[in-house]
Every structure is written in structure tokens, then in C-alpha cells.
A = this chain, B = another copy of it.
Amino acid sequence: MKKVLVSNIGMLATPKGNAARCGEEQGKIEILKNAWVLIEDGVIAAVGTGSPEGADGAEVIDAEGKLVTPGLVDAHTHLIFGGWRQNELGLKLHGATYLEIQNAGGGIQSTTNATRSASKEELRAKAEKALDEMMGFGTTTVEAKSGYGLATEHELKALQVIRDLDDRHPMDLIATFMGAHLVPAEYKNDREAYVRLVCEEMMPAVREQGIAKFCDVFCEADTFTVEESRRILEAGLKYGLRPKIHADEIEAIGGSRLAGEIGAISAEHLIVCPPEGIDALAKGGVIACLLPATSFNLGAVFAPARDMVKAGVPVAMATDFNPGSCPCLNMQFVINLGCLKYKLTPEEVLTAVTLNGAAAIGMADRVGSVETGKQGDLVIWDAPDLDYICYRVGSNLAGTVIKKGAVV
């Protein structure tokens, strides 16, 4: 048995439990001073304060009096894509909107072209570099979506790359099928045929290969209507894929209501989520997966996070890493934005980027908190306390990242 003791922790800050926390509970975290964590074979065996117990023969990692938290969970990324889109910066500086860029042949379709022409090896090498960087910023679990293939072959290719990366990389990856990211150019005049392709050809193949856990759909003006989204997510359920939904990012066309009705595990973005949408999320037990770096990049408003907490909706936060609206993979920036823009407290933010993120991808029983029985995924921060990592912007404060008990 391999024992690892993380000793001399100045402040251990962690939410607790195996499910998402909402309302006042979101901000109730455990803070232990002078703490230690014992990890056996990659799993947390004990957490305590004062003199460590049961740690004979353990390899010791000295936290030097610093802050320790659970490894961060990035519950929403579009990790697998070809190319970048820095050339759209000029268009944006001249005031073009997201949908205008898309309609001008840029946007998701241009990434689709680059993703289709990339080989599996190219996609894997590129995503691997991003995963290394993410882990260097403190992320230890990542959700990754397909959705730039938009053809059966290329959607499967993306999901296979995610599975390969989960095998090869220390990062835990959770795959989401998102064939319904955009109606690709070749189906522009027959969107019904594309919806059928997603539901009747892609989904059975995804199910057969067992390479995705969730089904996501971009429910938005100019992408998929509420009714199309409902059909797609219901079809996903038939194939064992739990629903997620991109809702109310640009216009509130009813995505958050649908999320509540259909029992989605999470709804994403919710930038312009109206009060009745928040009610629907609360009633449906849906986790709000908020993506503040996207609001930052788009120059948009920020999702009504405080209203959601108040209404009892569990709030998670993630990067939305993608080559268009959010070329940011750094969860520390998401933490900063959670305080500065959402006005969440450091405690609420910590829960959002750990336990609630884990719950949003069905992993709250394994990761997202520092508790006996969970995976030994921790970050030792170059920071004395939780406020510090929320307040310092632009520095990488993830001093030591520990995945399943091993320093990465």
C-alpha cells in the first residue's frame, strides 16, 4: 500500500458531502487549521488536525503552512478542437457579435472545418498540452465535450480522443456528446435531417462505443430551438446519456425552463437567465454551471449568480475553454471572476469550483472535497488562506498539484 501524508497544512478549506450544495449550504465549507491529509493508494484515508495519526512509513509532502483545497473541477470545456480563432479578434474589436461572426463563416463552423481535417493524433497532442496547462493551474478533473465534428465520424473521433486522454493523462476526463452544437453548413437547408442524424445515427454509435456519459445541446436562437433541444435530450436519455443544456447564453428562449422540466443534471451559461428560469432550475434540482470567463471575453453581462444562490440553485463554475468565445483554460481566473463579478463569497466560489463542479458531471462521490473515501486530489497553494487565491489576479498560485496522491 502506498501511503502519502500531506502535512503541515496551514489552512485546509473544503466543502463536504457527495452531492451539490445549494443556498446557504453553498457557502458553508470546512476550514481546518494545522491540518494533515493521509492518502492511501490514491484515496483519502484520514483527515485531521494536530499530530498525524496512522502515517507511519508514509511519504511526506510538507505543505509549509499553506492553503490546501480539493483539486479544481472544470465541469465545462470544449477541449477537442482543431485550430484557433485569434483572427476573429479584429472583427470583435469592430463590434461584430458572436452570431454575426458565425453567420460570416467564422465561429463554430470554422473550428468544425479545422477539427474535421485534424487527425486523432493531432487532436490528442493539442488537447494534451491544454490538459498539462490546466493541471498546472490546479485542475484535476475535466469535463470535455465533442461538438466540433458535427458528423458521425468526427464526433466519434473527438470522443475517442477524450477516452484516450483519460487513459493516458493523469487528469480524470468525463466525456459529453454534443453533436447538437451547431447545424453544420451542409445541413443548413435541412436542419430536421441533422437533428435526426444526431438522434438516430450519432447517439446509437456513441452508446455502442460507450464513450460518453452526458448529452449536451446548444439551445439558442440560430442554433437549436427549445423543441429540437427537448427531442435531442430525450433521445439522449434513451441511449443512457444524461442531459446537459447550453441555455440562456445570449437570448433567453426557454432553455433554463427546459432544463428544469427534463431533469437535466446541469444547465450551462445562463448569462441572461430570467427569474422564471431560475425557478425552473431550483424546482428541477438542476445545477447552474456558470462560465464567467465567457462573459468576460464576450464583454457580456454576468449570470445572476447571487440570485441563483438565493433561490437555492446549486452554482458550479467552469472555464468553457474553447477557441472562440473563451480561449481561457485557467480555473484560477474563474475563481477571481466568481468573487469580482458574481459577487460570490470565497467560500461559495470554492464550492462552485470543486464539489458543485463534480456534482455537475456526476463525480461528487469521488472528487470535489477533501474527505475520507474520496480521491486524493489536492492543491497546495502558494497562499496563506482562501481569500488570497480569490484576490490575486494573474499569478499562477497552484504551487503543488496532487492527483490520486501523486505530485503531478
**Residues of A that sit less than 8 Å from B by CB:** 84-87, 89-90, 93, 133, 137, 293, 296-297, 299, 326-330, 332-333, 339-341, 343-346, 385, 387-388, 390-396
Contacts and interface: CB of A to CB of B under 8 A. Distances in A.
B393 A89 contact: no
Contacts of A87: 387
30 contacts: A84-B391, A85-B391, A86-B385, A86-B390, A86-B392, A87-B387, A89-B346, A89-B387, A89-B390, A90-B345, A90-B346, A93-B339, A93-B343, A133-B395, A137-B394, A293-B393, A297-B340, A299-B340, A299-B341, A326-B393, A327-B392, A328-B392, A328-B393, A328-B395, A329-B394, A330-B395, A332-B394, A333-B393, A333-B394, A396-B396
Interface of A (DSSP majority class) = loop
Contact of A388 (B84, B388, B390): B84
Contacts of A345: 90, 93
Given A93-B343, A296-B340, A343-B93, A86 B391 contact: yes
Contacts of A86: 385, 387-388, 390-392
A346 B339 CA distance: 29
> Which of A327, A340, A394: most chain B Cβ within 10 A?
A394
Contacts of A344: 93
Contacts of A395: 133, 328-330
Given A90-B345, A396-B396, 5 more contacts: A93-B343, A133-B395, A293-B393, A299-B340, A332-B394
Nearest to A319: B394
A340 B339 CA distance: 20
